[in-house]
């Protein structure tokens, strides 16, 4: 072997060692970033349009970039993990064949180009293929919102617990027990189920549990705690609603000046919540907001207030749908301005949605105020036709209940949009003399029965508001410490009306 052969030999060995080193480095990099792959990188649509699915396998955060004004769009833009991406193509009513590309990217991975093509009206026989294209339901029941709502009987709120939050100097703090209730237990939820309720609404605050206030990153431990309470109910085969509740009041400025910043935070929170709960079945529902209104102003909203509040609903729906999987088909709930029934009928515009008939509307009912909510002097203690002549409000009696819930039936239920009566109830007065208290309790039970019965008759799904306070000026039906019933008579009045 001459000197040149020796040199060539050493060069080859060095190259192989370098290649091995690069290979090991590349392998290490791939492992550190996880995997990303798809089952097909091209789709073709007939000119009639339709839907098709790309199955994405991944354990990394990935992004799909596409032209937002394009004739085709993915159901998910970004997420982490496996997903079924539903691609929707509009009808092509032109004579030109058309094509579009999506780019799928993730840190540490080569960009994947997905090519979408579509025939023109002159390329093919104009058969309508849409009836043969059924989106993958991802094991969610194929029920529209109205059909789904009929499975929900009577609901109950875990009020003043997971939404407990303290705001001081713009700083959010607090915990589940900050408003005086003990931590929610499985025993409590078991008792609620045993009492006859088959649905639970869990008001939740999130802003006091952020790891990063600039990016609105929610603490994993807080998401786990919310999930723990959700699971208490699901283990009892109950329906569950979680939301972004008052949350310190940052949404209560529905003005054009605040619209962009509020929507940005709402979008961030809901994408995180939705991704965390994405694999839950359809017994879990999401509600976007709670009682949004101009702070301390309960009067008639302006057109600006309505437009901005409706935009919050749209942001919520878009954010959840973008996370894909079961969330693409999940039942979602949007609220009327301040959850007021008259505002709902006058102003609520249901958001645009990528999937048909999976949206519900929400209102609340605490009328008449002086019977249901007023704590100071001037409140009334009785309600209904059986107590006319006694300590009864001059308005808000049975005729108003019939009218209000009838309006919701006409404007929403009859048009295929179910209605969640997310909160209702009346304060218990115990600081009365014996006879007056007995009359009050009887009238209150009659009120609870009538509201529940009339709601169900008009297609509304009622959720009683329980704040955990079982004494004077409280809504509590259960002892939060023991999980046992505190007012069996009120519970019976509600449950008997719901059957």
Which residues, 6+ apart, have CB-to-CB distance to 53 below 8 Å? 84, 85, 86, 87, 135, 136
Show the tokens assigned to 276: 């965390």
Q: How far apart are CA 284 and CA 202, in angstroms?
A: 11
User: What span, in angstroms and rounded, lies between the C-alpha atoms of 29 and 107?
Assistant: 10
Query: Which string of DSSP letters, residue by residue, matches 197-228?
Result: --EEEE----GGGEEETTTTEEPHHHHHHHHH
Dist. CA 385–CA 479, nearest whole Å? 31
- What values do phi and psi take at 240, rounded to 5? -135, 135
Helix (H) or strand (E) holding 101: strand 98-105
**Burial label, 284 (beta-carbon count in 10 A; 0-12, 13-18, 19+):** buried
Q: Residue 448: name the closest of 175, 156, 220 by CA.
A: 156
Decide: residue 442, CB within 10 A, 0-12 exposed, 13-18 middle, 19+ buried: middle
Residue listed under structure tokens 């009365």? 432
Separation CA 491–CA 87 (nearest Å): 48
Which pair of structure tokens corresponds to residue 175? 């915990």
Strands 166-168 and 171-173: antiparallel
Say if CB 115 and CB 103 are below 8 A apart.
no
**What residues are annotated to the active site?**
291, 423
**Cα–Cα distance for residue pair 334/216, rounded to 1 Å:** 22
Q: Are 133 and 140 in contact (CB under 8 A)?
A: no
| Helix/strand/coil (H/E/C) assignment for every residue in 398-442 | HHHHHHHHHHHHHHCHHHCCCEEEEEECCCECCCCCHHHHHHHHH
Nearest to 463 by CA among 412, 425, 408, 437: 425
């Amino acid at each position: 072997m001459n000197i040149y052969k020796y040199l060539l030999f050493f060069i080859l060995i060095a190259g192989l060692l370098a290649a091995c080193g690069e290979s090991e480095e590349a392998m290490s990099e791939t492992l550190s970033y996880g995997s990303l792959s798809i089952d097909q990188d091209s789709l073709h649509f007939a000119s009639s349009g339709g839907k098709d699915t790309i199955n994405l396998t991944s354990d990394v955060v990935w992004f799909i970039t596409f032209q937002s004004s394009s004739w085709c769009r993915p159901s998910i833009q970004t997420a982490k993990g496996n997903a079924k991406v539903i691609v929707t193509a509009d009808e092509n009513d032109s004579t030109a064949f058309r094509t579009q590309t999506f780019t799928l990217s993730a840190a540490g991975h080569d960009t994947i180009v997905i090519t979408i093509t579509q025939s023109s009206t002159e390329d093919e026989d104009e058969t309508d293929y849409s009836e043969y294209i059924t989106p993958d339901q991802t094991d969610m029941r194929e029920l529209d919102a109205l059909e789904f709502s009929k499975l929900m009987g009577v609901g109950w709120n875990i009020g003043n617990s997971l939404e407990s939050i303290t705001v001081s100097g713009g700083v959010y703090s607090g915990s589940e027990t900050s408003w005086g209730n003990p931590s929610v237990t499985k025993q409590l939820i078991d008792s609620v189920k045993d009492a006859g309720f088959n649905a639970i609404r869990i008001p939740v605050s999130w802003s006091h549990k952020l790891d990063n206030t600039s990016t609105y990153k929610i603490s994993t431990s807080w998401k786990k705690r919310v999930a723990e309470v959700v699971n208490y109910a699901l283990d009892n085969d109950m329906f569950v609603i979680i939301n972004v509740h008052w949350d310190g009041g940052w949404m209560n400025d529905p003005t054009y000046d605040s619209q962009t910043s509020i929507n940005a935070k709402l979008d961030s929170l809901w994408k995180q919540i939705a991704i965390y709960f994405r694999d839950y079945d359809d017994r879990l529902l999401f509600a976007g907001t709670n009682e949004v209104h101009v702070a301390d102003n309960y009067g008639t909203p302006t057109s600006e207030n309505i437009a901005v509040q409706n935009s919050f609903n749209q942001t919520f729906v878009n954010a959840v749908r973008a996370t894909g999987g079961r969330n693409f088909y999940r039942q979602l709930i949007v609220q009327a301005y301040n959850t007021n029934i008259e505002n709902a009928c006058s102003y609520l515009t249901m958001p645009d949605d990528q999937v048909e008939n999976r949206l519900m509307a929400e209102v609340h009912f605490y009328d008449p105020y002086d019977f249901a909510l007023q704590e100071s002097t001037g409140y009334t203690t009785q309600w209904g036709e059986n107590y006319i002549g006694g300590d009864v409000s001059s308005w808000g009696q049975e005729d108003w209940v019939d009218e209000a819930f009838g309006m919701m039936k006409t404007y929403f239920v009859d048009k295929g949009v179910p209605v969640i009566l997310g909160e209702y109830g009346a304060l218990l007065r115990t600081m009365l003399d014996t006879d007056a208290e007995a009359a009050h309790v009887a009238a209150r039970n009659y009120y609870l029965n009538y509201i529940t019965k009339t709601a169900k008759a008009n297609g509304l799904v009622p959720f009683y508001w329980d704040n955990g306070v079982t004494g004077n000026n409280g809504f509590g039906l259960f002892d939060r410490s023991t999980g046992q019933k505190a007012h069996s008579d009120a519970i019976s009045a509600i449950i008997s009306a719901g059957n």
